[in-house]
Structures are given as C-alpha cells and as structure tokens.
Amino acid sequence: MSLKHSLKWSFLSELASKAIQPLVFVVLARLLTPADFGVVTAATMVVAFSQLFWEAGMAKAIIQRQSDVETAANAAFWINVSFGAVVALALYASATPIASYVFHDGRVAPVLRVMSLQVLLGAVSSIHAALLQKEMRFRQLFWVRLATVALPGLASIPLAYGGLGYWALVAGTVIGQAVQVVMLWAMSRWRPRWAFDAAAAREMVRFGAWVGLSGLLAWFYGWADSLIVGTHLGSDELGLYRGGNQVSTMIYGILFTPVVPVLYSHLARIGGEPKRLAGEFEKIVRILAITAIPFAFTLFAIAEPLSLALFGDRWKGVGFVMSVLALSHGIAWTVGMNGEAYRAIGRPRYETLAMGLPLIVYVCIYVVAIRQGFTVFVWSRMLAMAVGFGFQLYLLNRVLGIHLGRIGWTIAKVTLFMLGSVALTKTYLAPQLPGPVATTVGLAAANISAYLLVLYLTERKGLIADYRAIVSSRASND
C-alpha cells in the first residue's frame, strides 16, 4: 500500500473511533451512573499500567526492525505471552488488595479479575497488529479499529438497559478485545512457531526497555490525575472527572485530528532548514492559538447546559468538569504540535524533556490540590496546564529560536476577545433562551459567529492566508 493510501486509512481509523466513541458514551451515560464509570475506570487504569510490563515495547521494536523480522516476531510473541500470563495472574491475585487499599472500593476487585482477561487477549494479538502496521496494511487495521470501537458499545448498551450496571461496560470491553484478537489473527498471514531465538530476544528487550520507559511517562501523563482522584475521593468523583475529561478530549480530537498530519508533513519537509522551520512553526503555533483558545472558551460557556442536555440530572457536576478541562485542553493544544517540530529537526529527546519535567510539577500540584476537595482539584488541572504551557514556550525559544512576542500577542488578543464574548452572551443571551438545548446552541452560535467574523476581518491576509499556503504546499507536494 502506498504512503498516501496508508495515511488515508490511518486517518479514517482515527476519525471513525473519535466519531463513534462520543455517541456510545452519551448513550451509556444516560443509562449508567458516574459511579459505574468510576469503578470500570479504576480497573482500566490498572490494566493499562500492567501493559507496560507484559508488552515491554515489543510491538514498536518489531515495527522498527529491518532484518530477520520473522525470528524477531516469534521471540517477541512468546515474550509477550509469557509476561502476559504472569501479569494476568498477578492482577487476578492482587485484585482485592488493589481495590481495598488503592481505590477503597470493593467493587473494583471482581471487575479487575474479569478485565485481567484483556491482558491475555492483548498478549496474543499485539505482534499481529504490529506486523500489519509494519506492512502498512492500514485498510485492514481500519476495520479492526472500527469493530473494536463499535462492538463494545453494541454489546454494552443493551446490557446497561437491562440493568447490569458497570458489568455492562466490563462485558463490552472484553467482547471488543476478543473480537480484535479474532480479526487480527484472520487478517495477518504470520503465525508463531514453537521456537525461541535468545539472541533476537535480547535485542528486542534492549530496544523495548527504552520504549517501555516512554510508555511509563505516557501512562502517568494520561492517568496520574485520575489515579489521584480515584484514590482520594472514590468512584463517583472518578466517574465524573473521567467522564468530563473524556468528552473534552474527544471534542478536541475531532477538531484537530485532520490538522495534525497536514502540519506535520509540512514541518518534516523543511526540517533541514532551521530558520525557515522556526518561522513556519511560529505561524503554526499562532494558527493553533486562534483555533484552540476560542473553542475552549466556547466549550466553557456551553458546558453546563450541554451536560444537562446530554447526560441528565444523574451526572450533576460533570458540566463543571467539562468547562474547566475545556480551558485546560485549549491551553495544551496551543503547543500541541511542539513534539512534531522537535522530531522534524531530528531532536526527539526534547519532546521527552518537554513531557517529563512538567509532569513532576503536575503531580505535586495534584497531590496538594486533592486535599482541598474535588472543585479545587479540577481547577488545579488548569493551573498545571498553564505551567506546562509556559515551559513549552520556553523550550521552543531555546531549541528553535522562536521569538515569543508575536505568539504572546496573538494569544492575548484571542483570549481577551473571547473573555468579553463569553461574559456578554452568558449575561444577556443565556437568560433569554428556553431549556438546555436552546441555550447550548444559542451560546455556541453567538460566540463562534462573532469570533469568526472578527477573525476574518483581522486575519484574512495574515494567519488564514498562512494556513491556506501550508495546505496548498502540502497538496502540491503530494
């Protein structure tokens, strides 16, 4: 498959998952409680952490390997299966103490025991998925991803409607994983052999160790806040927090998924011209700012009525989480392409640095804030993102030599305008609108329309023209 077609199917895979997941989540949220989601989130968190040990970076090692792939794949498969069996048994045996001493919720124990099956299912299929990716068979992976995203929802929704509570989510998750195994084995031509090459295994483990370290960092980035909420406040707050975060994350994913590959491919072509890349990346950060920040303020304005319209009264409080985390994600996405810039110039270590150092600060902020209660903790998430945002800008200046004045001015202008727009619409328009649906639509339309008009008048020959030039440049090179 050509690179162009591979990118197309990879993009469709991401888009399909991001389109289906919100729909499934909204339906399930109407049938289940935040506590139901919190119990399953706690178990999912532990299973995701265990993947660092049984997967051991083998999949990425296979994708990277250029010689003797069959032998290496065989060694990687048996490493995964062996580690997976040990980890699954460990999870099963330790489910009760994890539930009692970490999450203080006995319901997590039986859920974790059942979900330990995911470890075994993942272990027997991860190498097949890696080989399909290595062979750029993204069309097949698209169908696997589609089934894996859709089937858990199709299984969970009727079970939730039937009153099974959080077990509906557990059943859907395990069924989806089992279907993924069947599809990957059916689509991949590769089969493991009863053989084990020790030399190949040592090479794979050495490579996988560094990948595992990056995976550990990514796990803490994705789960540290939820872990602290779950261990200190319980399943109900964990469900509210993770649910609100998931909605915000999915919305931003839908918005930015089409943009990232366009901008990254442009950066990769000019990676050998540092001055040009610095100039272009400054424009990209400003383009992200004029997109992410207005979207964040609009979500902040509509989060309460939107949550009421989507989830009902049982999810009281999720609107607050959505509103604050929308601002947090808006801050984060403004510098969301920095890693691509560092990779484009051949310095990926700076991406690790940009993630690792702020993470220490994040965890410290979370640990202090959680003692003040749920509301303070949620606001602390935005404070943490602001700290990370400042460090990201500092690193951009040091590594790429980007002057931050124009970036800062763009961010300030957009922020001030959206603050005024949201304040006016919430004060004067919202009280006139009947019901949560009308309020959501009215506030969103008013804020977005006003901003787009001002943006067109002020930037049609500036950043809008710059973005069109970048897209046109990519299209001509394709």
Q: How much is the average pLDDT of 432-452?
A: 91
Q: How much is the average pLDDT of 244-273?
A: 72
- The answer, yes or no, to whether residue 93 has pLDDT greater than 80, is yes
Q: Are residues 174 and 284 in the same domain?
A: no
Residue 219 and residue 48: Cα distance in Å, rounded?
Answer: 8
Which of 181-190, 285-294, 465-474 has the lowest average pLDDT? 465-474
Q: Are residues 310 and 206 in the same domain?
A: no
Q: Are residues 168 and 276 in the same domain?
A: no
Q: Are residues 277 and 415 in the same domain?
A: yes
Q: How much is the average pLDDT of 183-187?
A: 85
User: Beta-strand (E) ranges in 88-220?
Assistant: none
Answer whether 38's CB lies under 8 Å from 242's CB.
yes
Q: Are residues 211 and 290 in the same domain?
A: no
Q: Are residues 210 and 310 in the same domain?
A: no
Q: What is the pLDDT of residues 232-247, one digit of tens each?
A: 998 889 999 988 888 8
Domain end (from 192, 221, 250): 221
Domain end (from 221, 239, 266): 221
Is residue 245 domain-resident? Answer: no
Number of domains present in the structure of the chain:
2
**Higher pLDDT among residues 189 and 64, named by residue:** 189
Quote the crossing angle between the two packed helices 374-400 and 349-370, to the nearest 10°: 160
- % of the chain with per-residue pLDDT over 70: 83
Q: Are residues 303 and 184 in the same domain?
A: no
Q: What is the pLDDT of residues 20-77, one digit of tens each?
A: 777 788 888 888 999 999 999 999 999 988 887 777 677 777 776 666 777 778 888 8
Is residue 117 domain-resident? Answer: yes
pLDDT at 2: 45
Is residue 444 domain-resident? Answer: yes
Q: How much is the average pLDDT of 287-297?
A: 89
Answer whether 56's CB lies under 8 Å from 75's CB.
no
Look over the chain and give the mean of its residue pLDDT values, rounded to a whole number. Answer: 83
Q: Are residues 285 and 336 in the same domain?
A: yes
Task: pLDDT band for 15, please (50, 70, 90 cuts).
Answer: low
Task: pLDDT band for 3, please (50, 70, 90 cuts).
Answer: very low
Residue 81 and residue 83: Cα distance in Å, rounded?
Answer: 6
pTM for this entry:
0.81
Task: pLDDT band for 286, please (50, 70, 90 cuts).
Answer: confident
Q: Determine the structural domain holding residue 134 and report its residue range.
A: 3-221
- The answer, yes or no, to whether residue 446 has pLDDT greater than 50, is yes
Q: Which two tokens stand for residue 46?
A: 């532990």
Is residue 179 domain-resident? Answer: yes
Written as one string, the DSSP assignment of 383-416 is HHHHHHHHHHHHHHHHHH---SHHHHHHHHHHHH
Is residue 455 domain-resident? Answer: yes
Written as one string, the DSSP assignment of 89-136 is HHHHHHHHHIIIIIS--TTHHHHHHHHTHHHHHHHTTHHHHHHHHHTT
Domain end (from 174, 193, 221): 221
Is residue 240 domain-resident? Answer: no
Q: Are residues 61 and 131 in the same domain?
A: yes
Is residue 231 domain-resident? Answer: no
Q: Are residues 48 and 141 in the same domain?
A: yes
Q: Are residues 439 and 306 in the same domain?
A: yes
Is residue 68 domain-resident? Answer: yes
Measured between its terminal Cα atoms, the distance across the chain in Å is 15
Answer whether 169's CB lies under 8 Å from 32's CB.
yes
Q: Are residues 265 and 401 in the same domain?
A: yes
Q: Which two tokens stand for residue 108?
A: 């997590």
Task: pLDDT band for 259, please (50, 70, 90 cuts).
Answer: low
- The answer, yes or no, to whether residue 471 has pLDDT greater than 70, is no
